[in-house]
Structure 1
Amino acid sequence: MILDALARPRRGKRIAPRSAAGTCLLWLLTALPFGLFLAISGNLVASAGLALALVGLFTMISNAKRAMLGEALVFSDLALLGAVFRHPQFYFSALSRVQKALLAMAAPIVPLLLWAVFVGEWHMHLTGLAIMVVSVLLLTSAPELQPWAGIARVPDSEGDVQRHGLIATVFLYWMRWRKSADPAPLLPLPGKPQDDELAILIQCESFGDSAVLFGDTAPLLPALAAARVVAWSQGRLNVHGFGAYTMRTEYGVLFGRSEEELGFRRFDPFLTAKGESSFALPARLKEAGWRSIFVHPHDMRFYNRAEIMAAGGFAELVGEDRFAPPSEGEGRYVTDAAMADEILKIAKHAQGATLIYAVTIENHGPWKAVTAGNGLAGEYLRLLGNSDAMLGRLADGLAALQRPATLVFFGDHRPSIPGVCEPDVSGAAGDRHTPFVLLRFGRDGRPIVGEEGDLDLTPAQLHHHILDILRSSASRCHRAQQTIADGAG
């Protein structure tokens, strides 16, 4: 109880007990690994110690995550365990050196300890097995029984961890998520775009307005400033995550389902995205004549993008094999300049109406001071300048093509930089928004300036904003063709 009570957020500074319902669930959830360890070792004391250590480990990792990303552990984080080992640089940066050392030592200690304390009294092993089986049976039925059936019905991770505890909340959310159903499929949209129309959507890694993040003394982003002047629309994108959870923003813009509609699926909507494929932009636009291409210079198995994007209607996936590895001095990931080159190349040779959705990665953390006097913020800002330059190159390149085009550029989340740019964990929601700009180009290559002013949109609302623009473009094209046909008649 004390270990779980240490998990943040807590009610004030004191360690207060959780609800009775949450405490009972904690006992059952602790009894499960205790029974497992007892079934393996037969040692009562060692099994109890390991079960308590597991609760402590859960709490430590959750608190480290919350300090860096602004939220406690959620059930969907456990689905990423495989990715943690395939791409450790994305995850272990949240832990201190001491925490990393403790994890490294704990990994071999657990099996060695179970072997060292093994007791040959088989009745203890059978007792452990019985405890484990009973725990599983009770945990399977508990969420549908009172009082558990009446709590944690709506996602509120901050409040539920305070009220019921970390481990109980993770378990209840997982059980609620398992029972969520796929929505009824949507029909593709009719209509016909302009034959050579382009729509390019750029999801830019950790892109934020430098003045908003670091104050007026931060270097300016000239391409963003220029784009805002001639934008059809621009404003703030109110993303769900801070410092991570790219897939939440990506899902929102691509699939257009709000957090309220997603319910418990909101924490990692990619886990269930294949069951919602008809909502994806490419699937909706396909019947209208659009061909869609997904571009991401990384392993497409990450977040299961290869399967999700294919199911969502993308005709082609352009992955890491199309990009040369970054050269010395360019960083760990494919540069935004290389991305701009590839995107413009695809756009130049695109036949017919084409949608390109691209996910960049150059400015992915953690950041390191690579030169003397260049702190973490300095390295982030250097890479942010590269992202800004990408926006400028794409805008100029699309204008030069002289095809009707829409360019949408937005940040997936703010950066999490220890001591520099951190989430608000005081209990307030805190600012998490990133900038977005939407540019439209006519056939003469000139930008078409809109009159909507600054907009505050969620990723799902941006999806529908884009869809409305592409549909209105198709409607105007249809009316123009009808006028020509009537005149010829």
Structure 2
Amino acid sequence: MQALIDTLWAPWLVGLAGSVALEACLRPRPRSLTRRGVGAACVHLGSWCLLFALFTLVLQRPWFAVVFVLSLTLVVVQSSNTKSRTLEEPFICHDFEYFWDAIRHPRLYVPFFGIGLAIAASTAGAVAIGMFLYLEPALTGRHGLFAVVVTLALLGTLGAMLVGLGLGRCAPITLHPATDMHQLGLFASLWTYGIALYRSKAPASTPFERVTARAASDTSPNVVLIQSESFFDPRPWCDDIAPHLLTRFDATRTQALDKGTLTVPAWGANTVRTECAVLTGLAPKAWGARQFNPYHTLARRGLPSLASAFKAQGYRTVCVHPYIASFYKRDRVFPELGFESFIDMSDFDANDKHGQYIGDLAVARKVGRLLEDDDNRPLFIFVISMENHGPLHLEAPDRAHASRALPTAPWPLSKPFRDLAVYLKHLGEADEMIDRVKTSLSAARRPGLLGFYGDHVPILPDAYAHIGAPAGETPYMIWSTERTVLENTMPKARQAHELGIALFERASGHDMSSERIKADPEPQEQE
């Protein structure tokens, strides 16, 4: 037994030191291990004991286990750094599922890490596995199966005890990932977020729960709500952008019944956070630790939503999303939210692509055809566009468009402006989409309402580093075909969860102010 302990001691200690060193590579860097408190330090130590014991038991080679675990830790660290750079948020335990998504949808993830780096890391990993299996002898062949299992089980038990003891002494998390990562470090923040997620409860109600059923009338308007991918107005942020970039957007805002800035719970990605807030009328705090991907909950049990409220009012409810329906489990979530049909990318063809994804103008044509297909029911169409989605650096900027959108920027464009020019070109298509959907709504037999908002600002780290980061808010507006007085409505700042409520009140004349207060529960997650 002593010989086995002597064999395990050196790799265990080297691995522990390596885990501390890798954690220090996080950007932003967390507090040093000695300044986090006894609880977080115990969690780190216990986590390493658990991981080392588990992988050594499986691989039977302690040095191989050390390299393997540290390699996995490095992947998480690099993922966190990339996420912090692009999304203003570090890695949390909820993000482990995205490794599987990266395999299923590599275009949405791998380019942000670097395709060359991904290939090199995979190759190096395969070579290392082969070398260790060949060069390092198995523990059971030298020390016996019983001694190996007992020793590693004791080490794993010690690790579990240290994790449990440490978690009980960690400070409560704030559910602000950057803050919690800084205070607790990588291992403790992953554990505490995982436990918070396990203990959390889904919201019990929404503001739409008390909407009563009634038949639609001939004057019930068709309603189109567009969630425009990565849409924000970049002109106040960047002086180099031409003022005439979004002429149709500007004209529509001038005529809008309601408009202003929208505070959204996402930056650069995590669309479903904004999407869920708009559709359910619930603020992120109502979800507790589930707020980072509430669709996991909604895939199992739906809640009353904007769609179900319209459905109760006699509407046909349709979602148009020109991407894979199963992404974010939308194919399971949206029926639970009250949508009767879901139009995904299978309803489009290759000619509808503009850039990497189905274009906004193809989506506008689809909306127009839906509005023409009159079955005597008013329509609620929720559009989730894709054209502006990154990674933008996979496309080359168009010189002719760049000269119009960025007239003062010299060609060839410098690095901070290359992705921005690509983004602005697609933003112009979103601008055109607004006008085409307005035309379709105006041509319909019924009156029409158009709601429009951006889910988050785009991923433009080079431009943000050069110009400065924008505020992170996006614009919204509600426009009506029946607007006759073109007075300039005063802008109003809203939270994302207030927009769907405002749109429903406009469409139905239903005052939801009392329901809104009752259905905005305090978070039920407990630490």
Instruction: State if a TM-score over 0.5 links the two structures.
Output: yes
Residues 118 and 291 of structure 1: is their aligned pair in 2 closer, same or farther, counting only changes over 3 Å?
farther
Cα drift, residue 42 of structure 1: 2.5
2:288 partner amino acid: G
Q: 1:84, 1:176 → 2: CA distance?
A: 25
Unaligned runs of 5+ in 1: 476-489
Q: 2:114, 2:503 → 1: CA distance?
A: 41
Is structure 2 residue 340 aligned with structure 1 residue 315?
yes
1:419 corresponds to:
462
| Contact residue 256 and residue 279 of structure 1 kept, 8 A | no
Identical-residue share of aligned pairs (%) = 25
Is structure 2 residue 358 aligned with structure 1 residue 334?
yes
- Secondary structure (helix, strand or coil) at the match of 2:235 reads helix
1:257 corresponds to:
282
Among residues 189, 212, 225, which one is paired with 2:211 in the alignment?
189
Is structure 2 residue 440 aligned with structure 1 residue 397?
yes
Cα drift, residue 278 of structure 1: 2.2
| Contact residue 232 and residue 475 of structure 2 kept, 8 A | yes
| Contact residue 38 and residue 127 of structure 1 kept, 8 A | no
CA RMSD of aligned residues (A): 2.9
What number of residue pairs does the alignment pair up? 463
2:151 corresponds to:
127
Q: 1:419, 1:159 → 2: CA distance?
A: 24
Name the stretch that deviates more: 127-136 or 414-423: 127-136
Cα drift, residue 253 of structure 1: 0.9
Residues 79 and 342 of structure 1: is their aligned pair in 2 closer, same or farther, counting only changes over 3 Å?
same
| Contact residue 34 and residue 50 of structure 1 kept, 8 A | no
Is structure 2 residue 340 aligned with structure 1 residue 297?
no
Q: 2:420, 2:280 → 1: CA distance?
A: 33
| Contact residue 188 and residue 287 of structure 1 kept, 8 A | no
Cα drift, residue 361 of structure 1: 0.6
Is structure 2 residue 409 aligned with structure 1 residue 386?
no
| Contact residue 51 and residue 69 of structure 2 kept, 8 A | yes
1:189 partner amino acid: V
Cα drift, residue 137 of structure 1: 6.7
Residues 233 and 22 of structure 1: is their aligned pair in 2 closer, same or farther, counting only changes over 3 Å?
same
Cα drift, residue 16 of structure 1: 7.2
Cα drift, residue 118 of structure 1: 4.1
| Contact residue 395 and residue 407 of structure 1 kept, 8 A | yes
Q: 1:445-484 alignment to 2 at 5 Å? A: 446=483, 453-472=490-509
Residues 101 and 256 of structure 1: is their aligned pair in 2 closer, same or farther, counting only changes over 3 Å?
same
Residues 65 and 103 of structure 1: is their aligned pair in 2 closer, same or farther, counting only changes over 3 Å?
farther
Q: 1:52-451 alignment to 2 at 5 Å? A: 52-96=70-114, 99-109=117-127, 111-113=129-131, 115-116=133-134, 117-119=136-138, 120-121=141-142, 122=145, 123-132=147-156, 135-136=159-160, 139=163, 141=164, 146-148=168-170, 150-152=171-173, 154-185=174-205, 187-190=209-212, 191-195=214-218, 196-215=220-239, 217-218=241-242, 220-274=245-299, 277-326=302-351, 330-351=354-375, 352-367=377-392, 368-371=395-398, 373=412, 375-421=418-464, 431-442=471-482, 446=483
Is structure 2 residue 57 aligned with structure 1 residue 39?
yes
2:41 corresponds to:
23
| Contact residue 439 and residue 448 of structure 1 kept, 8 A | no
Q: 1:332, 1:130 → 2: CA distance?
A: 52
- Secondary structure (helix, strand or coil) at the match of 2:303 reads helix
2:13 corresponds to:
none
Cα drift, residue 399 of structure 1: 1.6
Q: 2:89, 2:466 → 1: CA distance?
A: 9
Residues 447 and 109 of structure 1: is their aligned pair in 2 closer, same or farther, counting only changes over 3 Å?
farther
Cα drift, residue 110 of structure 1: 5.7
Q: 1:215, 1:126 → 2: CA distance?
A: 67
| Contact residue 33 and residue 51 of structure 1 kept, 8 A | yes
Q: 1:11, 1:47 → 2: CA distance?
A: 26
Unaligned runs of 5+ in 2: 1-19, 400-411, 513-527
1:50 corresponds to:
68
Name the stretch that deviates more: 36-45 or 300-309: 36-45
Q: 1:36, 1:183 → 2: CA distance?
A: 37
| Contact residue 41 and residue 118 of structure 1 kept, 8 A | no
Residues 78 and 91 of structure 1: is their aligned pair in 2 closer, same or farther, counting only changes over 3 Å?
same
| Contact residue 408 and residue 437 of structure 1 kept, 8 A | yes
Cα drift, residue 178 of structure 1: 1.2
Cα drift, residue 464 of structure 1: 1.9
1:482 corresponds to:
none
Q: 1:30, 1:467 → 2: CA distance?
A: 52
1:478 corresponds to:
none
Residues 212 and 47 of structure 1: is their aligned pair in 2 closer, same or farther, counting only changes over 3 Å?
same
2:508 partner amino acid: R
Q: 1:447, 1:15 → 2: CA distance?
A: 64
Q: 1:231, 1:412 → 2: CA distance?
A: 19
Q: 1:403, 1:422 → 2: CA distance?
A: 48
Cα drift, residue 315 of structure 1: 0.6
| Contact residue 326 and residue 335 of structure 1 kept, 8 A | no
Q: 1:201, 1:362 → 2: CA distance?
A: 16
Cα drift, residue 34 of structure 1: 1.1
- Encode CA deviations 1:163-211: one digit per residue, 9 max, x unaligned: 1102211221111011111222453511454345211111111111130
| Contact residue 319 and residue 341 of structure 2 kept, 8 A | yes
Name the stretch that deviates more: 316-325 or 37-46: 37-46
Residues 134 and 469 of structure 1: is their aligned pair in 2 closer, same or farther, counting only changes over 3 Å?
farther
- Secondary structure (helix, strand or coil) at the match of 1:436 reads strand
- Secondary structure (helix, strand or coil) at the match of 2:492 reads strand
Q: 2:75, 2:106 → 1: CA distance?
A: 18
2:515 corresponds to:
none
- Encode CA deviations 1:211-241: one digit per residue, 9 max, x unaligned: 0343353352011100111001111111122
TM-score by length of 1: 0.86
| Contact residue 262 and residue 476 of structure 2 kept, 8 A | yes
| Contact residue 43 and residue 118 of structure 1 kept, 8 A | yes
Residues 473 and 347 of structure 1: is their aligned pair in 2 closer, same or farther, counting only changes over 3 Å?
farther
Q: 1:447, 1:407 → 2: CA distance?
A: 15
Residues 181 and 124 of structure 1: is their aligned pair in 2 closer, same or farther, counting only changes over 3 Å?
same
- Secondary structure (helix, strand or coil) at the match of 1:214 reads coil
Name the stretch that deviates more: 206-215 or 364-373: 364-373
1:463 partner amino acid: G
Name the stretch that deviates more: 286-295 or 305-314: 286-295
